């Protein structure tokens, strides 16, 4: 249960109501190919999703949003916007700093009543090796605008990737980079497209303009990376697509 306005209603009820009246719902500036669905979305997802909102209710991190009525055929279907809230792959960081599953299966797929989201074991090896058709998308790192590649600093994406050392490597395996030097590299054969890297990357326009950034990103930007990010942005003008590491969807 969650409080919306002055009434105590479920998030699912709220989502349905908001979709019906269409107030305050903004259609994100996605092209269809850029839409990131929750993990396990089958290829005929649009036909199988009954718009029930159960995946959104089950997500422990509020990572799932729903399209509003201005979205046409996509109305009331779930998506993930990594720059607002990535998919955490139902993991949390333990006291030792390591990430651990919080559930046996990814929660959104576990509760989906139609199989539009497949049930997926919350296991690193399983997630690293998902078939292409069940991934959310893939990450792409632009070395030209990456602080680690340009200034030998940062590495936040590598450190925070839930599939660290599989999807995101400390350095490309086939380039002569000395051990101990951090040059993040995406292995797209294992990346699931969760968007954590894009969310955490300090090189993002939103770091300059958005008030909705959470405290982690504000701190990163303000105290660690501000000068370097400004330098990169000044160098790039309006040409660059931020963040330095981006995720594209597959549906
Ligand atoms: S896998 Fe977990 S964190 Fe990711 S969208 Fe599904 S319920 Fe949310
Ligand atoms: S590389 Fe990025 S999108 Fe891919 S699994 Fe890691 S954090 Fe998620
Ligand atoms: S978080 Fe962004 S700037 Fe930092 S190493 Fe990763 S891609 Fe580069």
Which atom of ligand 1 approaches the CA of 120 most closely? 1
Distance 187 CA to ligand 3 centre (A): 15
Instruction: Express each pLDDT in 85-121 by its tens digit.
Output: 999 999 998 888 888 999 999 999 999 999 999 999 9
Instruction: Express each pLDDT in 209-226 by its tens digit.
Output: 444 445 556 666 667 887
Over residues 17-46, the mean pLDDT reads 64
Strand runs (DSSP E) across the chain, as ranges? Answer: 2-4, 7-9, 65-66, 78-79, 91-93, 99-101, 137-141, 168-169, 185-186, 245-249
Of residues 194 and 218, which shows the higher confidence score? 194
What is the reported pLDDT for 238?
56
Which atom of ligand 1 approaches the CA of 59 most closely? 7
What is the reported pLDDT for 168?
97
Residue of 83, 143, 144, 148 best suited for mutating to test ligand 3, as the one with most atoms within 8 Å of CB: 148
Residues with CB under 6 A from ligand 1: 38-39, 58-59, 61, 63-64, 87-90, 106-108
Q: What is the biggest distance separating any 2 CA atoms in the chain, rounded to whole angstroms? A: 60
What is the reported pLDDT for 40?
97
What is the reported pLDDT for 208?
46
pLDDT for 50 beyond 80: yes
Over residues 7-34, the mean pLDDT reads 45
Contact 244, 141 (CB under 8 A): yes
Lowest mean per-residue pLDDT among 20-34, 173-187, 198-212: 20-34
Q: What percent of the chain has pLDDT over 70?
A: 76
Burial class from Cβ neighbours inside 10 Å (0-12, 13-18, 19+) for residue 132 reads: exposed
What is the reported pLDDT for 19?
40
Contact 55, 111 (CB under 8 A): yes
Lowest mean per-residue pLDDT among 6-10, 33-37, 103-107: 6-10
Which pLDDT band, with edges at 50, 70 and 90, does 228 fall under?
A: confident
Contact 85, 62 (CB under 8 A): yes
What is the reported pLDDT for 240?
57
Task: End-to-end CA distance of the chain: give it in Å, rounded.
Answer: 30
**What pTM value is reported for the model?**
0.83
Contact 243, 141 (CB under 8 A): no
Give the number of residues written for the chain.
Answer: 251
Residue nearest to atom 7 of ligand 1 (CA): 59
Which pLDDT band, with edges at 50, 70 and 90, does 32 fall under?
A: low
What secondary structure, in 3-state letters, does 136-161 show? Answer: CEEEEECHHHCHHHHHCCCCHHHHHC
Domain layout of the chain by residue ranges = 2-128, 137-249
Of residues 238 and 27, which shows the higher confidence score? 238
């Amino acid at each position: 249960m969650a409080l919306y306005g002055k009434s105590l209603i479920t998030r699912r009820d709220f989502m349905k109501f908001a979709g019906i009246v269409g107030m305050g719902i903004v259609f994100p500036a996605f092209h269809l190919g850029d839409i990131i669905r929750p993990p396990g979305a089958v290829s005929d997802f649009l036909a199988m999703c009954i718009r029930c909102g159960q995946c959104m209710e089950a997500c422990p991190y509020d990572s799932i949003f729903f399209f509003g009525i201005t979205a046409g055929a996509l109305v009331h279907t779930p998506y993930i916007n990594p720059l607002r809230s990535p998919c955490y792959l139902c993991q949390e960081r333990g006291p030792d700093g390591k990430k651990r599953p919080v559930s046996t299966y990814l929660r959104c797929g576990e509760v989906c009543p139609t199989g539009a989201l497949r049930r997926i074991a919350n296991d690193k090896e399983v997630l690293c090796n998902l078939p292409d058709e069940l991934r959310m998308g893939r990450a792409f790192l632009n070395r030209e605008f990456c602080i680690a590649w340009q200034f030998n600093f940062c590495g936040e994406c590598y450190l925070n990737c839930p599939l660290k050392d599989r999807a995101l490597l400390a350095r490309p395996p086939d380039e002569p980079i000395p051990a101990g030097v951090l040059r993040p590299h995406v292995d797209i054969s294992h990346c699931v497209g969760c968007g954590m890297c894009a969310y955490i990357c300090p090189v993002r326009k939103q770091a300059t303009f958005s008030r909705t950034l959470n405290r982690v990103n504000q701190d990163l930007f303000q105290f660690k990376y501000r000068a370097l990010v400004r330098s990169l942005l000044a160098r790039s003008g309006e040409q660059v697509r931020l963040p330095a590491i981006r995720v594209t969807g597959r549906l």
